[in-house]
Amino acid sequence: MGRLAANRVVLSDAEVSSQHARLRWSAAARAWQLCDLGSLNGTQLNGAPLGRPGRARGAWVALREGDLVVFGERDESPAAVVSFPPPPTDQRAEPPPPTPPPAPRPSCTQRLQSPSPPPLRLAHAAREDAARGRPSEDRSGAECPLRGFRDVALFTVLDGHCGGAAAAAALELLPPALSAELAALPAGWREESRGAERALHNAFLGVDARLGPECLYAGCAATALLVWRAADGSLRLQSGNVGDAGGALGARVCGAPRPGFDPGPPACAATGHAAAALTEAHKVSSEAERRRLRALGVTLRPGENRLGGLSLSRALGDHFLKQGGEATCGLIAAPHCSAVHSLAAGEQAFCVLASDGLWDVASARDAVRIAAQAGCGAAGAACEVAAAALVAHARQKRSKDDVTALVVRLAEEAEEGEG
């Protein structure tokens, strides 16, 4: 249940999150049950909140006749009164749940057909901590699965500057933009070596072009992680980023070193997880970015590390610096796209996406070590613990910026109640 069209029950209201709550029948409890999925504005059952602190997923709660469910926290939020159909008079007062009609006897052809794979479900959790004295300019989001795709997930972290307007707008624009760009790719993109690179590139540029006048003097760094299911059932991932919001991949690598991973000892000796940086920091102080700027004819004096007052060399928004074209000052919205990483069973892989409030005081190895020690490679429930530990590390290292950490466990989650 939520605001996205992909939900079984669509609640088109600004108070409702993209994926707000879930409803299920529990055969064990013989009851319909509801849980909040970590929605922004919460779910109320007879006035009591169903969510948990920090936007954590709530517990399953049984529904009864006459219960009042409110999706949000305002008087005008969508609401529903629970009502069950009355049982037939010749049956017991407590009816079993309605059962679907029996399926037709399958033909030989139908028996040979494989059932549709389930939607991609990955455990994830985000933790945000604002700098003192002002609201956070960071934003984070997840669509798992991504709208229009059963086998693709999207996770994003955005770090705003000069306010949170650009980060908030880009958070809304990126999912539909990426969904449209993926739909335009050739059918075999999931198996290709370059993966979704073109879709990531076009989506970032498209989002930048669609940002409104509120982003004339405001902008954001952004990192987006795409995870998809390949034809053999394994998971693959690729990221794109602009600015200094970034990501790291942790996996238990056995045998020969994997491309992109640190060749030295594991980042976490206790679990055997190695680290791979997925992103590049696009700052004017970066030698690679300075070479790009010089090739455009942008003059940088020794020690000059800002473009029009901005320390970033790539960003979404900041349109006042882009009005004369790329060669004016060199600020662009074209992302760095990582290589495609294929994940094998048993690697207990996970990703950490974060704003520069973490990366200013932690390397990819540090982030992987902290998350692995929290256990998120082995259990999806540990993602929340890992996200909190990463934010705590940034504060212990005296990071004074907003800090947002989003941790994704790269192993498919079974539906609750299965097995």
Same domain, 36 and 131: no
Same domain, 140 and 16: no
Cα–Cα distances in angstroms (integers) from residue 395 to residues 56, 166, 376, 387, in the given order: 21, 25, 21, 13
Question: What are the start-end ranges of the E strands in 91-244?
Answer: 122-129, 138-143, 152-161, 219-229, 235-242
Same domain, 200 and 65: no
CA-wise closest residue to 17 among 6, 36, 2? 2
Q: Is residue 272 part of a domain?
A: yes
Q: Is residue 79 part of a domain?
A: yes
Q: What is the CATH number of the domain that holds 29?
A: 2.60.200.20
Same domain, 193 and 326: yes
Q: What is the per-residue pLDDT for 219?
A: 96
pLDDT by residue, tens only, the chain of 419 residues: 988 877 888 888 888 888 899 998 887 888 889 999 989 889 998 888 898 887 888 899 999 888 889 998 887 788 888 887 655 444 444 455 555 555 444 444 433 344 567 899 999 999 999 988 789 999 999 999 999 999 999 999 999 999 999 999 999 999 999 999 999 999 899 999 999 999 999 999 999 999 999 999 999 999 999 999 998 889 999 999 999 999 999 998 776 667 888 888 899 998 999 999 999 999 999 999 999 999 988 888 888 999 988 999 999 999 999 887 665 789 999 999 999 999 987 789 999 999 999 999 999 999 999 999 998 877 667 899 999 999 999 999 999 999 999 999 999 876 444 43
Q: What is the per-residue pLDDT for 15?
A: 83
Domain boundary (89, 105, 139) is at: 89
Q: Is residue 181 part of a domain?
A: yes
- Which domain range does residue 20 map to? 1-89
Same domain, 187 and 57: no
Kindly tell me the burial class for residue 413, based on how many C-beta atoms sit within 10 Å of its own C-beta (0-12, 13-18, 19 or more). Answer: middle
Q: What is the per-residue pLDDT for 412?
A: 87
Q: Is residue 111 part of a domain?
A: no
Same domain, 27 and 138: no
- Cβ neighbors of 179 (< 8 A, separation 6 or more) are 146, 147, 148, 149
Same domain, 48 and 188: no
Q: What is the per-residue pLDDT for 142?
A: 95
Q: What is the CATH number of the domain that holds 203?
A: 3.60.40.10
Same domain, 42 and 156: no
Give per-residue pLDDT as tens, 247-301.
Answer: 999 998 776 667 888 888 899 998 999 999 999 999 999 999 999 999 988 888 8
Q: Is residue 94 part of a domain?
A: no
Domain boundary (65, 89, 113) is at: 89
For residues 72 and 42, is the Cβ–Cβ distance under 8 A?
Answer: yes
Q: Is residue 385 part of a domain?
A: yes
Same domain, 66 and 196: no
Same domain, 72 and 185: no
Q: Is residue 104 part of a domain?
A: no
Number of domains in the chain: 2
Same domain, 78 and 208: no
- H helix count then E strand count, the chain: 8, 19
Q: Is residue 112 part of a domain?
A: no
Same domain, 77 and 126: no
